[in-house]
Amino acid sequence: MASLKGLKATSVISQADPVQNVNINTANVDINRLNAAINAYNEIIRESSPETLKQLSKNENFLEAGRVLRQLRAALK
């Protein structure tokens, strides 16, 4: 299974604590780290086997990472 190591920096990337329900539109985002995290997430999806993707689709942490990355990217457009 591909590593999630690169995605553990999500809270650092946005400098927002999801537990405290920080508004993602007011988070302080490092664009370079966000880009690196998005690339790492996409690479995991591209390189994973169908079985791994099936497992990841059930992993709430992985799904939440994807949601946060999409929200941050959309907020910067």
pLDDT > 50? residue 11:
no
Number of domains present in the structure of the chain:
1
The pLDDT tens digits for 38-50 are 999 999 999 999 9
- Integer CA distances (angstroms), 37 to 51, 75, in order: 23, 15
Average pLDDT over residues 23-27: 59
- DSSP letters, 45-76, are HHHS-HHHHHHHTT-HHHHHHHHHHHHHHHHT
Tell me how crowded residue 46 is: count the other CB atoms within 10 A of its CB: 9
Tell me how crowded residue 58 is: count the other CB atoms within 10 A of its CB: 8
Determine the structural domain holding residue 49 and report its residue range.
Answer: 5-75
